[in-house]
Amino acid sequence: MGQQYLTESEKELLTAIGRYPHMSFKELIDYTNYKRLSSIVRKVKELRERNILWGPVYTLDYGKLCKNPLHSLMCVIEFEKDYETIIEYLKLIEPLVWVYRVLSSHKEVLIAGFLSSDDVAVAALLQLLKDNSIIKDFIVRARCHRDVEECPNFFGDPVPPLDTLYDPCEPPDISFGQHDTKWNECDIRTLSYLCGGYESVKLVEILKKERKLHDRVWKYDQIKYSYRKMIKNKLIERRYYIHPFPLEQCADFFLFLRTEDIGLTLRILCNFAKGGRIYREYSLRGDWGLIGCICHPQFVIDLMHKLDQVDEIKEKELYHKRSFPPGIRYVGEYTEFTYYDVDTQTLEYPYGIFKERVKEKLESEK
């Protein structure tokens, strides 16, 4: 699989960054064998260049953002038309955040991620595309809870066993918080960049982009205050994507699974490949569990066969990322929060407008 070697000091540094993502590099000195800040800065730069470390990025607590319910949707979409044509239509549904093309030998499939203030309306728009033969079929699964992310254990097994799925464990609290802070326009604009994709964005870059693209005259202190306000009130949480090997040497997949008991499903999610040299994140999607993994390709080879031996898992679906880079394609263009109403502290999308846009495009292409 090519060069995979990491020194003990590099493993300790990556482990510390994943465990304490909120800490500065200077603070990490106490948790590593590095003695100087300059050594850590240089090593982090090198790990980024080796495509092992991305970030920092930020996760968002939807419960704290607005007074109305806001969900993250994963939509599995089967299609036969040209891929870029499908993207053009999906982007008319504005809170489209990312697209993930799936590896499949017998049909074209992608997974699209949306923010949603009305899950039924999103499903209706996809049905409209299906009725007009733009897409062939679709599945919508909503996340009403937080994701749980776990960075690789660099001292663990790259192909971890799956014989501990039923072990007793205490899954972390995955509930969203409650809206308890009033957010202003600067807060929301700053948020759109911090949660806009998979690359780190500096506050000064936000300031420059807002001035250039939107002619907004924020001051740097305003952007900085908004950032600290969001961290303090736990609207956002800092994290890093840490890959077990250089990203181009990894496999990347989403696995949906379902049992007859949601508690058992959550326990399986919590125990799945735990302690291995694997990046994983998991969540509940209705009565389905979802696991996303970046791992050694060998881990995927007989994964479904191993899961076939688990009688309690009644259904499962594996979606292997088609290629990466680029892998997940971020398409949101920082528009997910455009419709946030600072007066009412709500975020509701105008699905009627999106529907008319889709109809207009359908009509123009007849």
DSSP track, 257-277: EE-S-HHHHHHHHHHTTTTSS
Beta pairing partners, 329? 99
pLDDT at 198: 65
Return the number of other C-beta atoms located less than 10 Å from residue 269's C-beta: 24
pLDDT at 1: 41
CA 155 to chain CA centroid, nearest Å: 25
Question: Mind listing the pLDDT tens digit for each residue in 329-366?
Answer: 666 556 789 999 999 999 999 999 999 999 999 999 87
Q: How far apart are CA 79 and CA 112, in angstroms?
A: 12
Between vectors from CA 287 to CA 113 and to CA 159, what angle results, nearest 5°? Answer: 75
pTM (2 d.p.): 0.90
Low-confidence stretches of the chain (pLDDT beneath 50): 1-3, 325-326
Beta strands 279-285; 148-150: pairing state: antiparallel
DSSP string, 136-200: SEEEEEEE-S--EEE---TTS-SS---TTTTS---PPP-------S---HHHHHHHHHHTSSSS-
List the CATH code of the domain at 70-143+336-366.
3.30.70.260
State residue 101 phi and psi, 5-degree precision: -85, 135
pLDDT at 3: 46
Residue ranges per structural domain of the chain = 8-57, 70-143+336-366
Question: Mind listing the pLDDT tens digit for each residue in 23-74?
Answer: 999 999 988 888 899 999 999 999 999 999 988 889 999 999 999 999 999 9
pLDDT at 197: 65
